[in-house]
Amino acid sequence: MSKDKALDEYFLIQNYFSNIGSAYLAEHNVETSIGDDASVISSSGNTQQINSLDTSVEDVHFLSSMSPEDIAYRSCAVALSDLAACGARPKWFSIALTIPQVEENWLEGFAKGLHLFSDEYRIPLIGGDTTKGNLSITVQVMGEVDSGKAILRSNAKTDQLIFVSGIIGNAYLGLNELLDSATSTSNTLAYLKPKARIDLGLQLTDIASAAIDISDGTLQDINLICKASDIGAEIYLSKVPTSIPEKSLKLINSGDDYELCFTADEEKYEQILNISKELDIPITVIGKTTSSKELVLYDDKHKRIKLNSGYKHF
Amino acid sequence: MSKDKALDEYFLIQNYFSNIGSAYLAEHNVETSIGDDASVISSSGNTQQINSLDTSVEDVHFLSSMSPEDIAYRSCAVALSDLAACGARPKWFSIALTIPQVEENWLEGFAKGLHLFSDEYRIPLIGGDTTKGNLSITVQVMGEVDSGKAILRSNAKTDQLIFVSGIIGNAYLGLNELLDSATSTSNTLAYLKPKARIDLGLQLTDIASAAIDISDGTLQDINLICKASDIGAEIYLSKVPTSIPEKSLKLINSGDDYELCFTADEEKYEQILNISKELDIPITVIGKTTSSKELVLYDDKHKRIKLNSGYKHF
């Protein structure tokens, strides 16, 4: 599902949406707009606001067979994940819900999923819109950081370590299990109820130079950091943490895990290990940044694995 | 189109979405959440933020025959209209765009509509999301007011005058012209390129007790003020300003005009007339608020016109 899900958003943004009203950014205190996980807006105090918008479409971003509770929870968690990648504290969320018809049971289930999400991250639903149409959920999340502390995609430097949190590919395995049968496993849970790594993002504020949440696929998302930071990366396939021995390109690049991928100086390694212990979240080094303009993947014999041209930039 | 467009949003909100995470509203400084045109959030300075989210779905909120430029502009303007109703200054907007496929010409036209909107209201596009699916556009708008100055739906008092801006029903006439032929008239323009009455909203901040933008239909929208303010209303059909002599219930309740409907004390009448002259926008008294719990419509012989039970509340 994940390949089909993505229009080439990077291309679309660069070509059509990158400069709309950019003349008005400064007067409205917008520091970072199009092209990062979220937008950064300065406010009058010593905080900045972090805003993000995320749409989940039936049969593209979630299965139509999923319960309304899971659909609601997942749509919200994947939106909030963008704030985690910025190191932001969540403040509130709003929802635009498009549904084909009013079905009481379905809406009750959906509301239950919203309650669950709201209570887990302790943020209120403050508004939204309900419209008629094919099932689709757009979630807006608002958070904040202390001024200047947002972790951006564009700030990675060369010769830094590249880390991922959690285990990669479980959501993909879970999705396949869901397509095969309806049994609930830890993998299906990884797909149905992904966690936004808010606590981790908060801890990384002064440690990570750049971060992204893994929604489209580990390599694709690291590549977005590379493009935004104008650097390259070396990734070692064998080091990518997976729950099954076969570390295929397909598995590690499947997306949907909503783990964080981030870069940091080598000297931060001990601090990061301590965070990993404290939060009980695995954090693994999977590569390093380079001064090339290319993302390169190596197998366990340090042989280069051929990738398509999308991983080069100039 | 307008009747079919509305799920009973009031019902949905009351039943399913009104109290999700309401325990966390105060700690995140949310003053007004679900149930108004927009949400009001206090910030650290002496302003409040006004946030709204609005979805436009193909063949529900706009015609599939419309140009991508008009689709973009209209989707944004109708979202911004919620800020006008609150008396807010627009600050920025973000867009979640769902499209069935990538078509260069279409996207160029869509971007042109966004530029037009952005330049007209002098606000930047700061972010968003692009996904694959049936054509649908969710627009998030953010504005601000000086603290305590937001015009809410819930603050209308009894024995106040009820005003509308502009001419009612032109968008409906325009929509019908568009369905019949493709000629461009001032009516079709009212449908294709509605104006968000930002300048008017800003002038009404200390004058109007309550306001709403007319999206669903004049009576329906006044009824939302009545419910939120726990009052009733008397509306005189003959006074509703229309561009054709036949002031049918259908015409005045057609929606899509995005004019402002607001309540104010009679002593503000002269001030309001001056605003009307200054902004060159017709403003008309169409009724008054009452202490009943019902919206009542009168014909030109002061005979009551029968309305359905949706206009009573208890």
Question: Residues 33 to 52 of B: which have CB under 8 A from any A CB?
Answer: 33-34, 36, 38-39, 41, 43-45, 47, 51-52
C-alpha to C-alpha distance for B131 and A9, rounded to whole angstroms: 8
Q: Are strands A260-264 and B161-165 parallel, antiparallel or unpaired?
A: unpaired
Q: What is the number of structural domains in chain A?
A: 2
Residue with tokens 């104008």: A230
What's the confidence (pLDDT) of residue B314?
Answer: 63
Whether residue A228 is found in the same domain as residue A192 = yes
Q: Determine, for residues A25 and B124 on separate chains, whether the beta-carbon distance falls below 8 Å.
A: yes
Q: Of B24, B102, B131, which has the smallest distance from its Cβ to A55's Cβ?
A: B131
Q: Please write the tens of the pLDDT for every residue from A238-249.
A: 999 999 999 999
Mean pLDDT of B78-89: 96
Whether residue A274 is found in the same domain as residue A181 = yes
Domain edge (last residue) among A100, A126, A146? A146
Distances (CA, A) of B281 to A139, B2, B165, B273, B284: 36, 24, 7, 10, 10
Of A285, A221, A224, A287, nearest to A257 by C-alpha is A221
**Residues A226/A290, Cβ–Cβ less than 8 Å:** no
Q: Determine, for residues B133 and A23 on separate chains, whether the beta-carbon distance falls below 8 Å.
A: no
| Count of alpha carbons within 13 angstroms of residue A66, beta-carbon side | 29
| Strands of the B232-236 sheet, one edge to the other | B210-213, B260-264, B161-165, B283-290, B232-236, B295-298, B304-305
A89 part of contact set with chain B, CB < 8 Å: no
The residue ranking higher by pLDDT, B121 or A34, is: B121
Whether residue B64 is found in the same domain as residue B138 = yes
Whether residue A171 is found in the same domain as residue A234 = yes
**Residues B267/B203, Cβ–Cβ less than 8 Å:** no
Whether residue B166 is found in the same domain as residue B302 = yes
Whether residue A76 is found in the same domain as residue A163 = no
Whether residue A140 is found in the same domain as residue A194 = no
Query: Which of B53, B56, B57 best probes binding to A when mutated, by most A CB atoms within 10 angstroms?
Result: B53
Query: Which of A99, A131, A134 best probes binding to B when mutated, by most B CB atoms within 10 angstroms?
Result: A131
**Residues A234/A296, Cβ–Cβ less than 8 Å:** yes
Ramachandran bin of A220, using left for φ above 0, alpha for ψ from -120 to 50, beta for the remaining angles: alpha
For residue A202, the enclosing domain spans 153-311
Q: Please write the tens of the pLDDT for every residue from A68-83.
A: 999 999 999 999 999 9
Query: Which of B16, B137, B141, B213 best probes binding to A when mutated, by most A CB atoms within 10 angstroms?
Result: B16
For residue B2, pLDDT over 50 is answered with no
Domain edge (last residue) among A146, A175, A202? A146
Whether residue B177 is found in the same domain as residue B138 = no
Give this prediction's pTM: 0.93
Please give the structure tokens belonging to residue B300.
Answer: 């030109």
Q: How close is the nearest chain A Cα to the Cα of B296, in Å?
A: 27
Whether residue A128 is found in the same domain as residue A26 = yes
Q: What CATH number did the domain enclosing A101 receive?
A: 3.30.1330.10
The residues facing B240 across adjacent strands are: none
Q: What CATH number did the domain enclosing B174 receive?
A: 3.90.650.10
Residue B255, classed as helix, strand or coil, is coil
Mean pLDDT of A133-157: 95
Q: Please write the tens of the pLDDT for every residue from B149-196.
A: 999 999 999 999 999 999 999 999 999 999 888 677 888 989 999 999
Whether residue B184 is found in the same domain as residue B138 = no
Whether residue B131 is found in the same domain as residue B184 = no
Mean pLDDT of A112-134: 94
Q: Please write the tens of the pLDDT for every residue from A296-314.
A: 999 989 999 998 877 777 6
Q: Determine, for residues B134 and A134 on separate chains, whether the beta-carbon distance falls below 8 Å.
A: yes
Domain edge (last residue) among B146, B177, B198? B146
For residue B15, pLDDT over 90 is answered with no
Whether residue A115 is found in the same domain as residue A168 = no
C-alpha to C-alpha distance for B300 and B238, rounded to whole angstroms: 5
A100 part of contact set with chain B, CB < 8 Å: no
**Residues B80/B107, Cβ–Cβ less than 8 Å:** no
Q: Determine, for residues A20 and B132 on separate chains, whether the beta-carbon distance falls below 8 Å.
A: no
C-alpha to C-alpha distance for A71 and A64, rounded to whole angstroms: 9
The residue ranking higher by pLDDT, B98 or A14, is: B98
Q: How close is the nearest chain B Cα to the Cα of A45, in Å?
A: 6
A187 part of contact set with chain B, CB < 8 Å: no
Q: What's the one-letter identity of residue B187?
A: N
What's the confidence (pLDDT) of residue A314?
Answer: 63
**Residues B260/B213, Cβ–Cβ less than 8 Å:** yes
What's the confidence (pLDDT) of residue B160?
Answer: 98
Please give the structure tokens belonging to residue A131.
Answer: 């419209």
The residues facing A211 across adjacent strands are: A262
The residue ranking higher by pLDDT, A255 or B69, is: B69
